[in-house]
């Protein structure tokens, strides 16, 4: 049987999946690597760690594989977005990579607005200037490490550097390029205008390719180290959120993904790049051909629940913590939670806002608080869905992944709050599966990514909205949205005391 490999280069580890033609995961390997945090707000990694651990993981996988290495027809990638890897004229790394969660670049974001203009930036890149994006990092190095920047001849993102080290071919694909603030998202080309205005040589931008493009084969050195065959093709891959969308079947209009991890993401398929969300949500090129996706982010999604557990139910499992929420009515008996534990992203890009329990009284029990946390997280995610719908998007089916699928009561809450059918997949591999699907599609196994999804992805359960609950949650959602307005000034004043 034929196989492909999906490599998911995350922030804390690389995850490698060996997937067969039926979409079954034959093997799974994970290899960790460290963060480098020299100062508050700094987050870096050594790119060589990515390479070493990926090669080690591939070696382990091949060592335990009983089939013919030549049956592994393709490899593709998912990767952490926005990270900056600067290369010299020999494509050697000039400094540690600055990661997506590095926050040192506030001044550079303001500089981008001052020089390019906020409105013009949104017209070209479809996204606001945020500290996590790549362009502010480039400007930071230019201003603070001029000797390093002077040697820079190319920049790439994390998975692109890893792919280069496996193939000796240097490219960037559109879904990751869209998160740099240097791509003209609608026209799928580097913005000469932004480069010129910020005095960056546009030649620093690498060649652009589609996510399913074959960019080369593994090098002889990699073959000898890992046991891979020289016939194994390497495909460009996509950003982690784009691969997560592919791996969840978000490949046509009406399909939306709700992914609840530490943070939460609501991601919706877009057939074109011409909608105007005024920067309220992220707007990126998809890993699927000629498609786009919009995305809203809740910073403290699953983290809100883990925070509550760690502080009020430390000795219990998550299953025990949420066991009684079905006995609590919609609205948690008048208790409302806002999940702003570390600030918020969508629709409020507000670093100072903090969470609240509103409506506490002496009748409330712990199970009321637990349900209110689940509802509050879901309300926050619904703010992104509301933005999409207000722009004319029809959202009728939502694939739920991550921690939000671990409890069926929470899945029903999602169906009722979102007023949409919630789908739980039988096997959830997310970005790694999306990368494997790009390799399968690139290898010619399927005519379309949708056909690949039809084979690889299986539905476990569906949760339909209950009309009575939908009405109640719409009323509660209006109250939820008022909490931000009512508490913003209070939290600004309290910030002095943190």
Give the tens place of pLDDT for each residue, 6-18: 999 998 899 999 9
Q: What is the average pLDDT across 388-397?
A: 90
Q: What is the pLDDT, as a whole number, of residue 223?
A: 97
Q: Is the pLDDT of residue 253 over 90?
A: no
Residue 67: its pLDDT value, please? 92
The CATH number, out of the four listed (3.30.420.40, 3.40.50.970, 3.20.10.10, 3.90.1150.10), of the domain defined by the range 248-428+466-498: 3.30.420.40
**Cβ density class 398-421: b for 16+ within 10 Å, e for less:** bbbbbbbbebebbbbbbbbbbbbe
**Percent over 90 (pLDDT), the chain:** 85
Q: What are phi and psi of 117, to 5 degrees?
A: 95, 135
Evaluate if residue 168 carries a pLDDT over 80. yes
Kindly indicate the confidence band of residue 229, based on its pLDDT and cuts at 50, 70 and 90.
very high
DSSP collapsed to 3 states, 303-341 = HHHHHHHHHHCCCCCHHHHCCCHHHCCCCHHHCEEECCE
Residue pLDDT, tens place only, 178-203: 999 999 999 999 999 999 999 999 99
pLDDT of residue 317: 93
Distance CA 84, CA 141 (A): 10
Q: What is the mean pLDDT of residues 111-140?
A: 95
- In this prediction, residue 274 carries a pLDDT of 76
Residue 426: pLDDT band (50, 70, 90) is confident
Q: What is the mean pLDDT of the chain?
A: 94
**Residue 452 neighbours by CB distance under 10 Å:** 22
Contact 267, 245 (CB under 8 A): yes
pLDDT value, residue 392: 86
pLDDT of residue 94: 98
Q: Is the per-residue pLDDT at 219 higher than 90?
A: yes
Q: How far is CA 212 from the centre of its chain?
A: 19
Give the pLDDT mean for 227-242. Answer: 95
Model pLDDT, residue 255: 87
Q: How confident is the model at residue 34 (pLDDT cuts 50, 70, 90)?
A: very high
More confident residue, 380 or 39: 380
Angle made by CA atoms 240, 213, 400, in degrees to the nearest 5: 30
Confidence band, pLDDT 50/70/90 cuts, at residue 112: very high
Q: Residue 61: its pLDDT value, please? A: 96
d(CA 365, CA 369): 7
240 is catalytic: yes
What pLDDT shows up at residue 306? 93
Query: In which band, very low, low, confident or very high, does the pLDDT at 97 lie, cut at 50, 70 and 90?
Result: very high
Which residues have CB under 8 Å from 298's CB, separation 6+?
A: 263, 264, 265, 266, 339, 344, 345, 346, 377, 380, 381, 384
Cβ neighbours of residue 187 closer than 8 Å, sequence gap 6 or more: none
Q: What is the pLDDT of residue 263?
A: 86
Say what the pLDDT of residue 214 is. 97
Instruction: Answer with the residue of higher pLDDT: 467 or 252.
Output: 467
pLDDT at 14: 96
Single out the residue of 299, 363, 314, 304 nearest to residue 337, CA to CA.
304
Strand, helix or coil for residue 363 = coil
Instruction: Over range 320-341, report the average pLDDT.
Output: 96
More confident residue, 352 or 109: 109
DSSP 8-state assignment for residue 79? E
The confidence score (pLDDT) of residue 41 equals 84
pLDDT, residue 49, reads 98
- Asked if 3-241 and 248-428+466-498 have one fold, the answer is yes
pLDDT of 493 above 90: yes
Catalytic residue among 160, 240, 416, 419, which? 240
pLDDT of residue 69: 96
**The pLDDT of residue 350:** 85
Where are the chain's structural domains? 3-241, 248-428+466-498
3-241 has CATH 3.40.718.10 classification: no
């Amino acid at each position: 049987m034929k196989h492909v490999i999906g490599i998911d280069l995350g922030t804390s580890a690389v995850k490698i999946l060996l997937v067969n033609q039926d979409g079954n995961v034959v093997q799974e390997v994970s290899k960790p690597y460290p963060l480098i945090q020299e100062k508050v707000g700094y987050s870096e990694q050594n790119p060589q760690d990515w390479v070493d651990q990926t090669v080690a993981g591939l070696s382990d996988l091949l060592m335990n594989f009983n089939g013919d290495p030549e049956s592994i027809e393709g490899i593709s990638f998912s990767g952490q977005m926005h990270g900056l890897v600067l290369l010299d004229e020999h494509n050697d790394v000039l400094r540690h990579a600055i990661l997506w969660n590095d926050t040192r670049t506030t001044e550079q974001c303001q500089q981008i607005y001052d020089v390019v203009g906020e409105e013009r930036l949104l017209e070209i890149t479809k996204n606001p200037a945020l500290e996590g994006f790549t362009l502010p990092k480039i400007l930071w190095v230019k201003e603070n490490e001029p000797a390093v920047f002077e040697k820079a001849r190319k920049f790439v993102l994390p998975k692109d550097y890893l792919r280069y080290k496996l193939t000796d071919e240097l490219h960037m694909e559109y879904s990751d390029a869209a998160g740099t603030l240097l791509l003209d998202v609608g026209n799928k080309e580097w913005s000469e205008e932004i480069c010129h205005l910020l005095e960056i040589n546009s030649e620093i931008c690498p060649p652009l390719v589609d996510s399913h493009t074959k960019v080369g084969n593994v090098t002889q050195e990699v073959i000898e180290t890992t046991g891979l065959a020289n016939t194994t093709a390497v495909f460009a891959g996509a950003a982690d959120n784009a691969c997560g969308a592919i791996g969840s079947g978000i490949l046509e209009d009406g399909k939306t993904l709700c992914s609840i991890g530490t943070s939460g993401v609501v991601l919706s398929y877009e057939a074109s790049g011409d909608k105007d969300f005024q920067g309220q949500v992220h707007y990126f090129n998809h890993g699927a051909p000629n498609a786009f996706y919009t995305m809203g982010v809740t910073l403290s999604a699953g983290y809100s629940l883990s925070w509550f557990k760690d502080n009020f139910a430390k000795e219990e499992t998550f299953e025990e913590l949420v066991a009684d929420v079905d006995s609590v009515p919609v609205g948690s008996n008048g208790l409302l939670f806002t999940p702003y534990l570390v600030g918020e992203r969508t629709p409020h890009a507000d670093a100072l806002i903090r969470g609240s329990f509103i409506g506490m009284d002496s009748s409330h029990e712990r199970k009321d608080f637990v349900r209110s946390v689940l509802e509050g997280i879901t309300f926050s995610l619904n703010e992104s869905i509301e933005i999409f719908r207000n722009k004319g998007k029809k959202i009728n089916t939502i694939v739920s992944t991550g921690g939000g699928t671990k409890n069926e009561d929470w899945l029903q809450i999602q169906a009722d709050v979102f007023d949409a059918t919630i789908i739980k997949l039988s096997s959830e591999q997310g970005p790694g599966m999306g990368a494997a699907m790009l390799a399968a599609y690139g290898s010619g196994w399927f005519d379309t990514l949708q056909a690949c999804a039809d084979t690889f992805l299986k539905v476990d359960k569906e949760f339909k909205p209950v009309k009575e609950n939908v009405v109640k949650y719409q009323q509660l959602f209006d109250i939820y949205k008022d909490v931000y307005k009512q508490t913003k000034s209070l939290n600004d004043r309290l910030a002095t005391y943190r």
